[in-house]
Amino acid sequence: MFPPFDPERDERKKRKLSFARGQVPIRVLIPNIFTLVGLCAGLTAIRMGIEHRWDLAVAALVFAAFLDGLDGHIARWLKASSRFGAELDSLADFVNFGVAPAIIMFSWALEDLRSFGWIAVLVFAVCSALRLARFNVALDDDDVPAWKSNFFVGVPAPAAAIILLLPIYAADLGLNWPSLTPLVLLYTIAIALLMVSKVPTFSIKLIGQKIAREHVPPIFVLAALFIALIITFPSLTLFMGSVTYLALIPLSAYRYFQLERADERRAKSQNGKSATPLAIAEKTASPETDTELSA
């Protein structure tokens, strides 16, 4: 009931939690393996882009994005989250969604513009690095309302990488024009600026947590349908998905500001209620009131 005084007891307990004899459980390695496989997919996308094998480059990038959305959930499911894994994931994201799509877009169209095209892809890569750095810093901020967890600030790097290749999807569908190159340059810079902007966008990072039982069958059907579409009609599926995502950005911003105004009104109403008793107390304790009572 009463343990003896031992000032080093907490330190020994922490050491006991470390892995015995330098051994690491396999479950800790699994999320990092997924991250490294995704990194290899991103590097493969760079090679395919340099070799002008656009279909394989897009497929490798989409596969890297799929693994990026999977490794975090696996780490939470296995309770294997670590600081090392977070840093590795951030570095892999920069290569996969900052460097790889920039190289692919430069090799596909912007190479014809020479220095101007290279400046555009440099802007995209730099904005991706800034975006990931800002996201990592924001993870340490706990003083955030719960409803804000449903939104990202700016376009996340994986989504920006996928929608950046929208002109390639359009070209595969026969929507290519000879004068497309200047438009691709402007489009690349616009997507880069969206990454570092403060435009609210819908977040799907809460997917994978608890859901209602009645929603399970529709989710399975939609997942199977999406996989079938992206395997059978990859260019059309990615084109429609990118256009839909861009169209939802104004809607997400409208919904964010709507919730923000509602939150501000709620906070003002609560402050008004809490201020009423205080105002009454100050009024009863004021000198004028005491003078009138004494008179």
Q: Read off the tokens for 198.
A: 């403060």
Taking residues 233-255, what's their average pLDDT? 92
Q: Identify the weakest region by mean pLDDT among 1-5, 95-99, 143-147.
A: 1-5
Q: Identify the weakest region by mean pLDDT among 14-28, 68-82, 90-104, 163-177.
A: 14-28
* Residue-wise pLDDT tens digits, 256-270: 888 888 888 887 887
Q: Tell me the percentage of the chain whose pLDDT exceeds 90.
A: 42
pLDDT score recorded for residue 278: 47
pLDDT score recorded for residue 292: 39
Taking residues 287-293, what's their average pLDDT? 41
Q: Per DSSP, what are the bridge partners of residue 202?
A: 151
pLDDT score recorded for residue 112: 86
Query: Buried b / exposed e across 213-251, counting CB within 10 Å, b at 16+?
Result: eeeeeeeeeeeeeeeeebeeebbebbbebbeebbeebee
pTM of the predicted protein model? 0.78
Q: Per DSSP, what are the bridge partners of residue 201?
A: 152
pLDDT score recorded for residue 241: 93
* Residue-wise pLDDT tens digits, 83-116: 888 889 999 999 999 999 999 999 998 998 889 9
Q: Walk me through the domains of the chain, giving residue ranges and CATH numbers.
A: 24-262 (1.20.120.1760)
Taking residues 142-159, what's their average pLDDT? 79
Average pLDDT of the chain, as a whole number: 81
pLDDT score recorded for residue 63: 95
Q: Reply yes or no on whether the pLDDT at 288 is more than 80.
A: no
pLDDT score recorded for residue 143: 63
- Of 54 and 215, the structure prediction assigns the larger pLDDT to 54
The one-letter amino acid code at 27 reads R
> Which of 66, 80, 63, 73 has its CA nearest to residue 29?
80
pLDDT score recorded for residue 281: 46
pLDDT score recorded for residue 294: 42
- Of 285 and 235, the structure prediction assigns the larger pLDDT to 235
- Of 145 and 193, the structure prediction assigns the larger pLDDT to 193
**Complete DSSP assignment for the chain:** --PPP-TTHHHHHHHHHSPGGG---HHHHHHHHHHHHHHHHHHHHHHHHHTT-HHHHHHHHHHHHHHHHHHHHHHHHTT---HHHHHHHHHHHHIIIIIHHHHHHHHHTGGGGTHHHHHHHHHHHHHHHHHHHHHHHHTT-----GGGGGEEES--HHHHHHHHTHHHHHHHTT---TTHHHHHHHHHHHHHHHHHS--EEE--TTTTS---GGGHHHHHHHHHHHHHHHHHSHHHHHHHHHHHHHHHHHHHHHHHHHHHHHHHHHHHHHHHHHHHHHHHHHHHTSHHHHHHHH-
Instruction: Yes or no: say if 80 and 31 are a contact pair by the CB < 8 Å rule.
Output: yes
